[in-house]
Amino acid sequence: MLAEIITIGDEILIGQIIDSNSAWIAQQLNNIGVRVKQITSASDDRQHILDSLNSAANRADIIIITGGLGPTKDDITKKTLAEYFNVGFKRDEASLKVIEEIFRRGNRPMLEINNKQADVPENCTVLLNKSGTAPGMWFEHEGKVFVSMPGVPFEMMYLLEEEVLPRIKQHFKLEAIVHHNILTAGIGESFLAEAIATVEDSLPSYIKLAYLPKLGQVKLRLSAYGEDEVALRQEVLKYADAITAVIDEYVVCSEDKALEVVIMEFMRAKKLTLAVAESCTGGYLSQQFTQHAGSSDVFLGGAVTYSNALKQSILGVSVATLDQFGAVSEETVREMAEGALNNFMPDYSIAISGIAGPGGGTAEKPVGTVWVSVAGGNKTIAKKFQFGNRRQQNIERAAVNAQIMLFKLLREEHA
Amino acid sequence: MLAEIITIGDEILIGQIIDSNSAWIAQQLNNIGVRVKQITSASDDRQHILDSLNSAANRADIIIITGGLGPTKDDITKKTLAEYFNVGFKRDEASLKVIEEIFRRGNRPMLEINNKQADVPENCTVLLNKSGTAPGMWFEHEGKVFVSMPGVPFEMMYLLEEEVLPRIKQHFKLEAIVHHNILTAGIGESFLAEAIATVEDSLPSYIKLAYLPKLGQVKLRLSAYGEDEVALRQEVLKYADAITAVIDEYVVCSEDKALEVVIMEFMRAKKLTLAVAESCTGGYLSQQFTQHAGSSDVFLGGAVTYSNALKQSILGVSVATLDQFGAVSEETVREMAEGALNNFMPDYSIAISGIAGPGGGTAEKPVGTVWVSVAGGNKTIAKKFQFGNRRQQNIERAAVNAQIMLFKLLREEHA
């Protein structure tokens, strides 16, 4: 079963907003066994919308349209849909009530253009939007389903979850899809491909393997398509096990989770805590952990010691070490990690010191030189990395590699 | 001049990643006067890619393709482009050297599939990718320009900025576009619109005003389209001055710069330094400053004190204050800011403590309650904010509002 997503509106095409709706819709459709064939962002232009509807309907069975449902003149999705289906309009009383209520609550005068928001093409089933003025619409036309929803994320999400997905499941007999993710770290994409070539070549045609690389990590995704979900899941697991057997030492986890989440879950289960001492990553590493709800029971906090003075005062790095070896050195980064351990009292600490660039490099320590140290369990390890010239990338790579170092150490010590 | 963007790869279509590349590319194209007609995300499927290329070329003059250039079997963009143009392959020696260097530096063995990454369709001009193994490619075909780039954001960004945009400007005669940005903070979009309505109504048809709201800030962008760039610039400045005259107190700057950059430039010019004490923002505020090159001469560092123990030990917040008022309180956040001032020795400090959510709220202090304090120049100010239920949004709003508080104080004290 194939679907397409069409987002309508200039704000995406001029880059004003990032289309995060489509990814979310695609995830939800995938979960119920509907594959998305194409995502199209089209302008608020009658002919362009008509063409997009035509080509989507040629490729897919379900066409999900978001956006272009506002009251102003530039929003023409509804009018264009009526033209596409060659029908007139009807007023939907339930939607009108919601709209009136929204204006009443907001104490705003209701204009004629607001009444018109309750008008929908005659051939549609209204999907009542309880939290906005634009109704959702469900159309069945020449064997295809068309759904139109507002582009406001939470309105769209509500309509998709409560109205659209249940109707799709009822309307179509859906193929089962099973995804299985394997997150690897510390091995490059091509080396990985070579290592698992035999397994990959043995995959049946209905199981696909995708490589999703991201700064020091590669996520492998097996996707199986077919009738019998239980059988598919068993088969996918068989191949996942075969892959894991070959690359076991690089596998971080077998779920669709970020590395820092896996680390925090591991530490939470063992009642371990973490603190960090960051120099060149400047808070990025902390944010990787703290962006996740519930991080506070593992992550105690840390220091961003950009200046040498703060490396001394907060972390207790010695003046002699900084003078003799410099801020970007094995000696300093070890003292930073141990200082974080002693001063912040976690079970484990991570310290990072490097030259993110673009300035600050020397012949001996060029931009991209980063030292990482991990301390805990009566052990302090340190490792030097040589990344490239891009500041943000160096920051992200340093943070990911520091996490990999911590994760390996944790697994060694708490197997 | 019209362009289309085609992103290739299943990771977008299954919703695993959000397509942020396209918005960025669209912005850059808009800046040089190229409008994006459609953005298409297509699967790693030969026929689908061919169809997408065909329809894009029917609508637009410039077709920008990203993704699908990895070394593995699921990446078929290059092969499909060669088929589309009906050409064979050539090996690009400059790209091969880059690839070899990347493997040498990474101390990894180079495989035959890696050599093949230097193979490109015969009719292309290679856009040398200095930081990745997939070369960029520029094609001219039947009056249209096709560009293929890797989907890895920083590689794509480098290639677009350094290679693609200059070539587009050279290849096509583009209409002049002059943009002028005014960054405002602390005033809502509709109040802003009301305040500048007279100026907005007086704009000639070839000058457009856009409101680009973003968490506590609204960027106003005047864009003028025409022949004579010098005349356009003068005229845009005239209207920008008229706008600024009305809303002067809310204007952060008249350049396309981020708030934290404006703050650091202001502080650098006055030889002032900054440190931070973060709780609920968890490193995000530090990262806002340190992501920018050269931040180290203003930003000394700071503490991420997630736990109360660290609020005491690093920042010197008193046990009595934490016990009596709690971590999220005016008293605590003031002590955090003053502790950062005393212990880290900057000229100014920012402290943030709040409940980012989704857990941790109470009736008295619901999720989204955030206290911000700014200290410096013999003054400590504090302010309470009540944001919503979304964790990441609360973190970002807290950081932006803390920056606005600092910026206002700096301007008052160092006018």
**ipTM value:** 0.81
Residue of B4, B14, B274 to mutate, testing the A interface (most A Cβ within 10 Å of its Cβ): B14
Q: Give pLDDT, residue A334.
A: 98
Residues B213 and B226 in one domain: yes
Q: pLDDT-based confidence at A10, cuts 50/70/90?
A: confident
Residues A103 and A44 in one domain: yes
How confident is the model over A214-244, as pLDDT tens digits?
A: 878 999 989 898 989 999 999 999 999 999 9
How confident is the model over A331-372, as pLDDT tens digits?
A: 999 999 999 999 999 999 999 999 999 999 999 999 999 999
User: Average pLDDT of chain B?
Assistant: 93
Q: pLDDT-based confidence at A396, cuts 50/70/90?
A: very high
* Total domains in the fold of chain B: 3
**What is the residue whose two structure tokens read 């279509």?**
B13
User: Which among A55, A344, A357 is the nearest to B310, CB-wise?
Assistant: A344
CATH of the domain at A184: 3.30.70.2860
Paired with A319 in beta bridges are none
Q: Among all residues of chain A, which has the CA nearest to that of B302?
A: A304
How many Cβ atoms sit within 10 Å of the Cβ of residue B289? Answer: 26
Q: Do B314 and A344 touch (CB under 8 A)?
A: yes
Closest to B279 (Cα-Cα) out of B257, B256, B312, B255: B312
Q: What would the two tokens of residue A101 be?
A: 């209520």
Query: Which residues of chain A neighbour B303 with C-beta distances below 8 Å?
Result: 301-304, 314
Query: Which residues of chain B neighbour A284 with C-beta distances below 8 Å?
Result: 283, 287, 290-291
Instruction: Give the separation between CA B127 and CA B135, rounded to whole angstroms.
Output: 6
Q: Do B295 and A282 touch (CB under 8 A)?
A: yes
Q: Among all residues of chain B, which has the CA nearest to that of A13?
A: B36
Instruction: Give the separation between CA A324 and CA A312, rounded to whole angstroms.
Output: 14
How many Cβ atoms sit within 10 Å of the Cβ of residue A129? Answer: 26
User: Which among A55, A283, A301 is the nearest to B290, CB-wise?
Assistant: A283
Instruction: Give the separation between CA A133 and CA A136, rounded to whole angstroms.
Output: 10
How confident is the model over B83-122, as pLDDT tens digits?
A: 999 999 999 999 999 999 988 887 888 888 889 999 999 9
How confident is the model over B226-260, as pLDDT tens digits?
A: 989 999 999 999 999 999 999 998 999 998 889 99
Q: Do B27 and A15 touch (CB under 8 A)?
A: yes
Q: Do A287 and B282 touch (CB under 8 A)?
A: yes
Q: Do A19 and B40 touch (CB under 8 A)?
A: no
User: Which among B30, B38, B303 is the nearest to A314, CB-wise?
Assistant: B303
Residue of B6, B16, B55, B111 to mutate, testing the A interface (most A Cβ within 10 Å of its Cβ): B16
Closest to A401 (Cα-Cα) out of A381, A383, A388: A383
Residues A209 and A338 in one domain: no
Give the HSE-up count for residue A229: Cα atoms under 13 Å, Cβ half-sphere: 9
Residues A249 and A264 in one domain: no
List Cβ<8 Å contacts ≥24 apart for B158-166: B158/A390, B158/B129, B158/B130, B158/B131, B159/B127, B159/B129, B160/B25, B160/B28, B160/B64, B161/B28, B163/B127, B163/B128, B163/B136, B163/B138, B164/B64, B164/B127, B164/B136, B164/B138, B165/B28, B165/B29, B165/B32
Query: Which residues of chain A neighbour B153 with C-beta distances below 8 Å?
Result: none
* CB contact set of B269 (below 8 Å; sequence gap of 6+): none
Q: Give pLDDT, residue B105.
A: 82
Residues B345 and B394 in one domain: yes
User: Which among A12, A290, A296 is the nearest to B283, CB-wise?
Assistant: A290
Residues B80 and B202 in one domain: no
Q: Do B25 and A15 touch (CB under 8 A)?
A: yes
- CA quadruple B73, B74, B78, B80: dihedral sign: positive
Query: Which residues of chain B neighbour A299 with C-beta distances below 8 Å?
Result: 282, 306
Q: Give pLDDT, residue A183.
A: 95
Q: Do A304 and B301 touch (CB under 8 A)?
A: yes
Residue B177 in this model has a pLDDT that exceeds 90? no
Q: Give pLDDT, residue A31.
A: 81
Q: pLDDT-based confidence at B218, cuts 50/70/90?
A: confident
Q: pLDDT-based confidence at B280, cuts 50/70/90?
A: very high
Q: What would the two tokens of residue A237 be?
A: 């697991």
Query: CA B52 → CA A55, A86, B80, B125, B192, distances in Å?
Result: 10, 27, 11, 22, 41
Q: Do B16 and A212 touch (CB under 8 A)?
A: yes
Q: Do A393 and B154 touch (CB under 8 A)?
A: yes
Residues A267 and A409 in one domain: yes
Q: pLDDT-based confidence at A311, cuts 50/70/90?
A: very high
How confident is the model over A398-413, as pLDDT tens digits?
A: 999 999 999 999 999 9
CB A211 within 8 A of CB A220: yes
User: Which among B13, B25, B70 is the nearest to A39, CB-wise?
Assistant: B13
Residues A109 and A211 in one domain: no
Paired with A266 in beta bridges are none
Residue of B32, B98, B117, B307 to mutate, testing the A interface (most A Cβ within 10 Å of its Cβ): B307
Mean pLDDT of A167-193: 90
Q: Give pLDDT, residue A267.
A: 98
Residues B227 and B336 in one domain: no
Q: Give pLDDT, residue A68.
A: 87
Q: Do A14 and B20 touch (CB under 8 A)?
A: no
User: Average pLDDT of chain A?
Assistant: 93
CATH of the domain at A163: 3.40.980.10
Residues B193 and B145 in one domain: no
Domain C-terminal end among A230, A253, A276: A253
Instruction: Give the separation between CA A23 and CA A12, rounded to whole angstroms.
Output: 14
Instruction: Give the separation between CA A276 and CA A284, rounded to whole angstroms.
Output: 11
Q: Do A296 and B306 touch (CB under 8 A)?
A: yes
Q: pLDDT-based confidence at B40, cuts 50/70/90?
A: very high
Question: Residue B303: in which H helix or E strand, if any?
Answer: strand B299-305
Q: Give pLDDT, residue B239.
A: 97
Domain C-terminal end among A235, A253, A271: A253
Question: In this complex, how many residue pairs, one in chain A and one in chain B, have their CB atoms less than 8 Å apart?
Answer: 268
Query: CA A61 → CA A38, A68, A139, B328, distances in Å?
Result: 12, 22, 12, 52
Query: Which residues of chain A neighbour B294 with C-beta distances below 8 Å?
Result: 359
Instruction: Read off the pTM.
Output: 0.82
CB B337 within 8 A of CB B329: no
Residues B264 and B247 in one domain: no
Q: Among all residues of chain B, which has the CA nearest to that of A286?
A: B283
Paired with B2 in beta bridges are B35
A265/B188: higher pLDDT: A265
Residue of B1, B20, B37, B39 to mutate, testing the A interface (most A Cβ within 10 Å of its Cβ): B39
Query: Which residues of chain A neighbour B52 with C-beta distances below 8 Å?
Result: 38
Instruction: Give the separation between CA A224 and CA A204, rounded to whole angstroms.
Output: 9
Q: Do B24 and A15 touch (CB under 8 A)?
A: yes
Q: pLDDT-based confidence at A285, cuts 50/70/90?
A: very high
Q: pLDDT-based confidence at A77, cuts 50/70/90?
A: very high
User: Which among B131, B152, B359 is the nearest to A293, CB-wise?
Assistant: B359
Q: pLDDT-based confidence at A177, cuts 50/70/90?
A: confident
Closest to A140 (Cα-Cα) out of A123, A162, A126, A163: A123
Q: Do A13 and B287 touch (CB under 8 A)?
A: no
How remote is the C-alpha of A147 from its chain's centroid? 25
Q: Give pLDDT, residue B331.
A: 98
Residue of B18, B36, B41 to mutate, testing the A interface (most A Cβ within 10 Å of its Cβ): B41
Range of A188's domain? 176-253
User: Which among B12, B30, B294 is the nearest to A15, CB-wise?
Assistant: B30
Q: What would the two tokens of residue B167 be?
A: 């070539």
Residue of A29, A290, A391 to mutate, testing the B interface (most B Cβ within 10 Å of its Cβ): A290
3-class DSSP state of A146: strand
Domain C-terminal end among A145, A171, A197: A171
CB A191 within 8 A of CB B108: yes
Residue B295 in this model has a pLDDT that exceeds 80? yes
| pLDDT over 90 percentage in chain A | 77
Range scoring the smallest mean pLDDT among A274-278, B98-102, B259-263:
B98-102
Distance from CA of B408 to the nearest CA of A (A): 24
User: Which among B12, B113, B284 is the nearest to A23, CB-wise?
Assistant: B12
Q: Do A299 and B306 touch (CB under 8 A)?
A: yes
Q: Give pLDDT, residue A255.
A: 87
Give the HSE-up count for residue A78: Cα atoms under 13 Å, Cβ half-sphere: 26
CATH of the domain at A387: 3.90.950.20
| pLDDT over 70 percentage in chain A | 100
Mean pLDDT of B390-400: 92
Q: Do B111 and A17 touch (CB under 8 A)?
A: no
Distance from CA of A126 to the nearest CA of B (A): 27
Residues B23 and B135 in one domain: yes
Q: Please name the amino acid found at residue A76.
A: I
User: Which among A179, A189, A343 is the nearest to B71, CB-wise?
Assistant: A189
Q: Please name the amino acid found at residue A415.
A: A
Q: Do B19 and A18 touch (CB under 8 A)?
A: yes
